[in-house]
């Protein structure tokens, strides 16, 4: 039976709802001879973008589970998206190692604080974190907010708390960030774009 | 990029200078290889190191780090002297014929108007001669001694091949060979693409490096063409998007200038920003500034932004003065900043002079780190042996660390360096209690809003009135946010020529920025993104990759800003009568009634060629600028200045004038000038760079990357290694006047000594990726060494050229 790769995957994934699998680098004929089904045929495929350099290669992320409410989705494989006209399925050594980034041993899992002069972290709740940070921000803003400059011109700015923003955040997070920090009056702002 | 990644395949010549895409952007670089294979294109590399890109190039020329303008100025001189200019293009589409104020002068390395004390220029004379209607005077014959062409010719006549060899250390024959390659693309149907990255920006003359190449591309007629353009490869996956959204002080989303203390009310502010055409009949697109700005105020403050209160102009904070990563850390160092929020950024590792940054952080009252990973910055207070020598007991900063999601765990859009906005979908939940950046920002903001409502405090109106129509207030969805910044009509938008014709119904999403109004009837959070979520839905999620043009335009894949245009200035790809310079690579052509072709016209669609509307529509001149007027800090023409730390005694172009040694208009803070080292103590030129296995300070946290590149190293040439008794694999200590690092020595043939005016100059190459946190072997932070000075226009630090010494550790 001669089928194209895409037909092959369509056959494999029939009945699996929205999920499908993509290129795995071997020929469909050989693959069809396999007895056991591949893990990827049961995986959910999600289209995303490599977060490293600004070639912004398309990636396909395979996660276990079907994204239903109580199912825990775990990322089991990431590869290049052959449909993306820029990378056409290729990834460089960085992109090819993306799963290890998602599952890095140094991922942060809960809010922490390092108190003044302390030499260790302490785990705290989100509520405590938001409370304490907001109190700091408000105290600093109220103490240092400048309504008018020395010439009497309305300037409404707050320079004594600074913000550095991420260039790996999506546009929507960037937009909400700039909208809220400008509304607070911040002007000591920069991003990685310069570096 | 003016063009885009796939378009590189359309080039005849790929000039890589100031970048190393084979190493840093491999999947984009394959389009350079494609051009070589299918078009027999040539690849030429100019770089201090024989790098990975050079290893697959047709020709490689070395140059000393920090001497790019001398090289490029030499190219301009070559093109003019050998008449390798695309004349018709330059005549029609540049300001070569414009007459300049007779007061404009250049002598001994300085332009007219220099103020040494302020390290800046009074730019009064850097302007055109105007006629009685306010239009620039021109001399079509290019004979007037004050016309741009003559001034430019005289300026670059000093950049002879001999001078280039003397300043850059590039052998004369190699330089001339590169010039020959470049000159071939002066033919109307030949194009060169310029690929650059941080190798050009990270200099105290970074912006002028790029401008100099822009001038070359104009002289060759390569702007607007398929396979042409100036293409910044850029850094992070969404560095383009975050720049577009202006997460920095000087501008607001869509590159709108932010108001400053010079702007007393909205009326005078908008008047000042609304440019007047400098030639008759030009589009002068910045005349629309009020529409973009008022729509932004309406997007943010909705009903509270009314005509009567100047659309809430006072809600927008006014910029006090310099505000950029260097000035922020300098202020912090002086104790003038108390709080610091750090979102997905590792400044301890990535900002110049680690010691100064670390001391600055220790002066804060509070710091908030939002990051998916345990970064070096978040633990600046923690001792890590000699990699981070600090005493926590002496650091009073309260540090909060909030876990965030990574790319795979959020939906939303990224914009690649080709300006293509592409939607991404969420694949999994983040680990533990980590949250999205949007949820963190929203929750923090709502908490502050509540506190201000309850307890009052400093000017809370902009906080209370900020539009917040999200279904789940502390979790704005990416879809809601994209719809918001795209913008919508608040009232029916009607045709300005026929008020009975409704173009957009009230409440509808806007299809393009052409629909924006300055009367408060439209909202738009970022005018250049307008159209990305129209009534048709989310255009960034379009995934039709068909390419009928064969040029790689894929107009139905994602959405490119502006208005889905893939090649900027594409009107210039056709001659003044509307015929493509190269019919085989038609981007645009005049069909008799409208502009048609393979892209969205960068031109009024019905502007007939006879109307003489010129292609550079954002410029009030209508044409591109070989002479930059007053728009650059250090002069209208790029001039070679030495890096702030240079191995030379003087600038070889101006040996008698110490004021013109390094960029005369670059900002240097107190204490930083003293922290520069000299060539006596630090004789070698250091340059920092990236490796293909690593991305900045991020991938050292990922196991597989750490296995591939486990340990910090520095690269030196065989000759220097011999002089210093260093063998491959030895541990070495590299010192600058600001500190030291230790790493493993790699001894290589890829770096060779330069002969600079009879003096031997060695280069030390230092990858940046290592630090004390992560899965690699713990290492020193490379930016311990780098100087705290930046480009005079952008303040990008000078990471690519500074002085060090090296010895066996
Ligand atoms: S896979 Fe490599 S080339 Fe592609 S975006 Fe990621 S880092 Fe860049």
A137-147 tens-digit pLDDT: 999 999 999 99
A95 Cβ below 6 A of ligand 1: yes
Q: What is the pLDDT of residue A37?
A: 67
Question: Which of the residues B440, B458, B689, B771 would you substitute to probe the A interface, choosing the one with the greatest number of A C-beta atoms within 10 Å?
Answer: B458
For residue A151, the chain B residue with the least C-alpha distance is B261
Provide the pLDDT for residue A125. Answer: 98
Q: How far is CA B244 from the centre of its chain?
A: 11
Q: Which of B50, B77, B556, B521 is nearest to B303 (CA)?
A: B521
Inter-chain touch B344–A180, beta carbons under 8 Å: no
Instruction: Give the bridge partners for B371, in sequence order.
Output: B403
- Reported in sequence order, the residue ranges of B102-188 that DSSP labels E, i.e. its strands, are 106-107, 110-111, 114-115, 120-121
Nearest chain A residue to B555 by CA distance is: A85
Question: By CB neighbour count within 10 A (0-12 exposed, 13-18 middle, 19+ buried), where does B468 fall?
Answer: middle
Residues A117 and A190 in one domain: yes
CB within 8 Å: A107 and B238: no
Environment class of residue B99 by beta-carbon count within 10 Å: exposed (0-12), middle (13-18) or buried (19+)? buried
Concatenated DSSP letters for B682-743?
Answer: --EEEEEE--TT--TTTGGGSHHHHHHS-S-EEEEEHHHHHHHT--TT-EEEEEETTEEEEE
A169 contacts on B by Cβ (under 8 Å): 238, 242, 343-344, 437
* B237, B246, B425 member nearest A168 (Cβ): B237
H or E element at residue B290: helix B289-301
Q: Which two tokens stand for residue B168?
A: 């850059």
Residue, of B247 and A39, whose pLDDT is higher: B247
Ligand 1 and A122: CB distance under 6 A: no
Lowest-pLDDT range of A14-18, B59-63, B579-583: A14-18
Best B238, B421, B531 member to test A by mutation, with max A CBs in 10 Å, is B238
Classified as helix, coil or strand, B498 is strand
Q: Which of A22-31, A118-127, B204-213, B729-738 has the lowest mean pLDDT?
A: A22-31
pTM value > 0.90: yes
pLDDT at A10: 47
Backbone angles phi, psi at B386, to 5 degrees: -75, -10
Q: Is B26 in the pocket of ligand 1 (CB under 6 A)?
A: yes
Segment B680-694 shows an average pLDDT of: 97
pLDDT score recorded for residue B564: 97
User: Tokens 């003038």 label which residue?
Assistant: B336
Q: What is the ipTM score, two decimals?
A: 0.96
Question: Which of B201, B372, B545 is the closest to A107 by Cβ?
Answer: B372
Which residue, judged by its Cα, is nearest atom 8 of ligand 1?
A53
Assess if CATH 2.40.40.20 describes domain B658-808: yes
Residue B353, min C-alpha distance to chain A (Å): 13
Do residues A50 and A31 share a domain?
no
For range B146-150, the mean pLDDT: 98
* Contact A55 CB / ligand 1 (< 6 Å): yes
**Does A13 have pLDDT greater than 70?**
no
The pLDDT of residue B559 is: 98
3-state helix, strand, coil in chain B (%, to 5): 30, 20, 50
- Domain positions in chain B are 658-808
Mean pLDDT of chain B: 97
Q: What residues make up the domain containing A71?
A: 44-102
In the predicted model, what is the mean pLDDT of residues B90-98?
98
Strands B684-689 and B763-767: parallel
Cα A101 to Cα A50: distance, rounded to the nearest angstrom: 11
Paired residues of B686 in beta bridges: B764, B802
Assess whether pLDDT exceeds 80 at residue B319. Answer: yes
Across B722-745, average pLDDT = 97
* Contacts with A194 from chain B: Cβ below 8 Å: 201, 248, 324-325, 790, 794-797
- Rounded Cα distance, B183 and B212, in Å: 15
Segment A149-158 mean pLDDT: 95
Residue A89 lies in a domain: yes
B390 contacts: CB under 8 Å, gap ≥ 6: B358, B362, B380, B381, B382, B383
Residue A93 is assigned to a structural domain of this protein = yes
Task: Examine the pLDDT at A31 and tell me if it is beyond 80.
Answer: no
Q: At what angle do helices B437-455 and A171-183 cross, to 10 degrees?
A: 20
pLDDT confidence band for A21 (50 / 70 / 90): very low
Neighbours of A73 (CB within 10 A): 21
User: Is the distance from the beta carbon of residue A87 to the nearest atom of ligand 1 less than 6 Å?
Assistant: yes
Report whether residue A56 contacts ligand 1, using a CB cutoff of 6 Å. yes
- A123 and A95 together in one domain: no
pLDDT band at A65 (very low <50, low <70, confident <90, very high): confident
Same domain, A123 and A182: yes
Smallest Cα distance from A24 to chain B, Å: 19
The tokens for B433 are 């209690």
Cα of A49 to ligand 1 centre, how many Å? 9
Examine the pLDDT at B161 and tell me if it is beyond 80: yes
Q: Does A71 touch chain B (CB under 8 A)?
A: no
Interface of B with A in 288-327 (CB under 8 A): 300, 314-320, 323-325
Q: How far apart are CA B508 and CA A86, in angstroms?
A: 33
CATH number at residue A65: 3.30.200.210
Which ligand 1 atom sits nearest the alpha carbon of residue A59? Answer: 1
Inter-residue contact B762 to B720 (CB < 8 Å): yes
Instruction: Tell whether omega for the bond before B58 is within 30 degrees of 0, i.e. cis.
Output: no
Residues of B in contact with A104 (CB under 8 A): 373, 701-703, 775
Does A44 reach chain B within 8 Å, measured CB to CB?
Answer: yes
pLDDT at residue A35, as a whole number: 62
Q: Which residues contact B675 (CB under 8 A, 6 or more apart)?
A: B353, B737, B738, B787, B788
Question: Tens digits of per-residue pLDDT, B202-243?
Answer: 999 999 999 999 999 999 999 999 999 999 999 899 999 999
Q: What is the DSSP letter of A98?
A: H
Decide if pLDDT at A14 tops 80. no
pLDDT of the residue at A193: 77
Q: Does B704 touch chain A (CB under 8 A)?
A: yes
Q: Is residue A151 part of a domain?
A: yes
Do A116 and A185 have their domain in common?
Answer: yes
Mean pLDDT of B571-583: 97
pLDDT at B674: 87
Q: How confident is the model at residue B321 (pLDDT cuts 50, 70, 90)?
A: confident
- DSSP at B245: T
Whether residue A77 lies within 8 A of chain B, CB to CB, comes out as no
From the list B341, B403, B355, B323, the residue with the least C-alpha distance to B781 is B355
User: What distance in Å separates the CA atoms of residue B521 and residue B226, rounded to the nearest whole number?
Assistant: 38
Tell me the nearest-neighbour CA distance from A33 into chain B, angstroms. Answer: 30
Q: What is the C-alpha separation between B367 and B361, in angstroms, rounded?
A: 8
- A15 confidence band (pLDDT: 50, 70, 90): very low
> How does DSSP classify residue B322?
-
Output phi, psi for B490, to 5 deg: -90, -30
Does B773 contact chain A (CB < 8 Å)? yes
For A119, name the nearest residue in chain B, comparing CA atoms only: B392
In the prediction, which pLDDT does B22 show? 97
Shared domain check, A184 and A116? yes
Q: Strands of B132-243 (E only): list them.
A: 192-196, 230-232
Express each pLDDT in B608-661 by its tens digit.
999 999 999 999 999 999 999 999 999 999 999 999 999 999 999 999 999 999
From B258, B314, B396, residue closest to A154, measured CB to CB: B314
Mean pLDDT to the nearest integer, B783-802:
95
Residues B474 and B471: their CA atoms lie apart, in Å, by 9
Residue A125: inside a domain: yes
Q: Are residues A85 and A118 in the same domain?
A: no
- pLDDT grade for A192, boundaries at 50, 70 and 90: confident
Among B232, B616, B460, which residue's Cα sits nearest to residue A138?
A: B460
- Asked if residue A71 and residue A138 are part of one domain, the reply reads no
Q: In whole angstroms, what is the distance from residue B316 CA to residue B312 CA?
A: 8
Q: Which of A83, A98, A187 sits opposite B317 (nearest CB)?
A: A187
- Does residue B169 register a pLDDT over 80? yes
Q: Does A35 touch chain B (CB under 8 A)?
A: no
Q: What percent of chain A has pLDDT over 90?
A: 70
Q: Please give the tally of structural domains in chain A.
A: 3
Q: How far is the CA of A47 from the centre of ligand 1 (A)?
A: 15
Structure tokens at B62: 């070395």
Q: What is the pLDDT of residue A39?
A: 74
């Amino acid at each position: 039976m001669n089928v194209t790769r895409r037909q092959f995957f369509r056959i494999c994934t029939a009945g699996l709802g929205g999920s499908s699998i993509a290129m795995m680098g071997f020929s469909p004929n050989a693959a069809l001879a396999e007895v056991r089904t591949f893990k990827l045929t049961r995986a959910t495929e999600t289209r995303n973008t490599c977060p490293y350099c600004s070639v912004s290669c398309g990636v396909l992320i395979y996660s276990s589970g079907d994204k239903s409410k109580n199912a825990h989705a775990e990322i089991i494989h990431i590869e290049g998206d052959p449909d993306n006209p820029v990378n056409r399925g290729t990834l460089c050594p960085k992109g090819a190692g993306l799963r290890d980034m998602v599952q890095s041993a140094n991922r942060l899992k809960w809010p922490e604080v390092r108190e003044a002069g302390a030499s260790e972290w302490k785990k705290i709740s989100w509520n405590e974190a938001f409370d304490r940070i907001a109190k700091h921000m408000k105290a600093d803003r109220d103490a240092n907010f400048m309504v008018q400059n020395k010439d009497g011109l309305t300037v409404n700015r707050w320079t004594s708390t600074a913000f550095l923003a991420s260039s790996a955040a999506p546009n929507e997070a960037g937009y909400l960030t700039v909208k809220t920090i400008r509304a607070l009056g911040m002007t000591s702002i920069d991003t990685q774009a310069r570096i | 990029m003016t063009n885009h990644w796939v378009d590189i395949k359309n080039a005849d010549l790929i000039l890589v200078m100031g970048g190393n895409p084979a190493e840093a952007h491999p999947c984009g670089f394959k389009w350079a290889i494609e051009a070589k294979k299918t078009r027999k294109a040539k690849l030429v590399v100019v770089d201090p190191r024989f790098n990975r890109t050079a290893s697959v190039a047709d020709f490689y020329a070395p140059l000393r780090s920090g001497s790019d303008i001398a090289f490029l100025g030499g190219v301009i001189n070559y093109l003019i002297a050998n008449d390798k200019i695309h004349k018709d293009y330059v005549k029609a589409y540049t300001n070569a014929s414009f007459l300049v104020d007779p007061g404009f002068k250049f002598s001994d390395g300085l332009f007219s108007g220099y103020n040494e004390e302020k390290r800046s220029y009074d730019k009064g004379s850097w302007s055109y001669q105007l006629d009685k209607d306010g239009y620039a005077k021109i001399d079509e014959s290019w004979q007037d001694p004050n016309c741009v062409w003559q001034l430019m010719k005289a300026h670059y006549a000093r950049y002879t091949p001999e001078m280039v060899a003397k300043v850059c250390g590039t052998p004369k024959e190699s330089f001339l060979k590169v010039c020959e390659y470049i000159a071939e693309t002066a033919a109307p149907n030949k194009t060169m693409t310029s690929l650059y990255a941080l190798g050009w920006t990270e200099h105290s003359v970074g912006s002028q490096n790029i401008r100099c190449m822009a001038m070359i591309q104009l002289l060759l007629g390569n702007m607007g063409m398929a396979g042409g353009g100036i293409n910044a490869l850029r850094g992070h996956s969404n560095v383009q998007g975050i720049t577009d959204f202006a997460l920095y002080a000087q501008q607001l989303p869509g590159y709108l200038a932010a108001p400053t203390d010079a702007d007393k009310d909205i009326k005078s502010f908008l008047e000042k920003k609304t440019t007047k055409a400098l030639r008759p009949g030009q589009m002068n697109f910045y005349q629309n500034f009020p529409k973009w700005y008022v729509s932004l105020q309406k997007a943010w403050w909705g009903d509270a932004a009314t005509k009567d209160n100047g659309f809430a102009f006072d809600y927008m904070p006014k910029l006090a003065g310099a505000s950029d990563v260097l000035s922020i850390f300098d202020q912090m160092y002086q104790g003038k900043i108390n709080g610091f929020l750090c979102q997905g950024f590792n400044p301890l590792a990535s900002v110049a002079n680690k010691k100064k940054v670390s001391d600055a952080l220790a002066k804060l009252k509070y710091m908030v780190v939002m990051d998916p990973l345990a970064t070096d910055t978040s633990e600046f207070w923690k001792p890590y042996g000699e990699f981070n020598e600090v005493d926590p007991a002496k650091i009073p900063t309260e540090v909060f660390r909030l876990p965030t999601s990574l790319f795979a765990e959020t939906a939303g859009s990224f914009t690649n360096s080709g300006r293509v906005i592409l939607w991404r979908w969420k694949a999994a939940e983040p680990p533990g209690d980590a949250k999205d950046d949007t949820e963190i920002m929203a929750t923090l903001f709502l908490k502050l809003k509540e506190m201000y409502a309850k307890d009052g405090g400093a000017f809370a109106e902009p906080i209370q009135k900020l539009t917040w129509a999200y279904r789940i207030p502390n979790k704005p969805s990416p879809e809601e946010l994209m719809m918001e910044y795209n913008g919508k009509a608040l009232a029916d938008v009607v045709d300005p020529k026929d008020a009975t014709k409704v173009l957009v119904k009230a409440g509808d999403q806007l299809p393009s920025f052409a629909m924006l109004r300055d009367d408060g009837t439209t909202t738009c959070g970022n005018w250049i993104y307008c159209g990305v979520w129209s009534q048709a839905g989310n255009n960034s999620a379009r995934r039709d990759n068909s390419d009928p043009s064969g040029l790689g335009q894929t107009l139905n894949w994602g959405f490119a800003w502006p208005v889905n245009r893939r090649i900027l200035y594409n009107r210039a790809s056709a001659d003044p009568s509307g015929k493509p310079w190269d019919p085989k690579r038609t981007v645009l052509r005049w069909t008799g009634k409208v502009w048609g072709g393979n892209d969205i016209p960068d031109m009024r669609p019905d502007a007939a060629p006879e109307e003489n509307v010129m292609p550079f529509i954002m410029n009030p001149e209508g044409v591109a600028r070989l002479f930059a007027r007053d728009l650059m800090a250090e002069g209208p023409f790029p001039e070679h200045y030495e890096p702030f730390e240079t191995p030379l005694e003087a600038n070889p172009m101006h040996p008698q004038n110490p004021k013109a040694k390094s960029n005369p208009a670059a900002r240097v803070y107190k204490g930083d000038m003293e922290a520069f080292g000299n060539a006596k103590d630090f004789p070698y030129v250091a340059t920092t760079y990236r490796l293909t296995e690593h991305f900045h300070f991020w991938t050292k946290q990922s196991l597989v990357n750490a296995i591939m590149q486990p340990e910090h190293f520095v690269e030196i040439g065989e000759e220097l290694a011999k002089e210093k008794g260093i063998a491959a694999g030895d541990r070495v200590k590299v010192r600058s006047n600001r500190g030291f690092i230790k790493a493993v020595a790699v001894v290589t043939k890829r770096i060779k000594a330069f002969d600079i005016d009879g003096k031997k100059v060695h280069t030390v190459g230092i990858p940046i990726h290592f630090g004390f946190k992560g899965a690699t072997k713990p290492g020193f932070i490379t930016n311990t060494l780098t100087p705290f000075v930046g480009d005079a226009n952008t303040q990008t630090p000078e990471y690519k050229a500074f002085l060090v010494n090296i010895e066996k550790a």
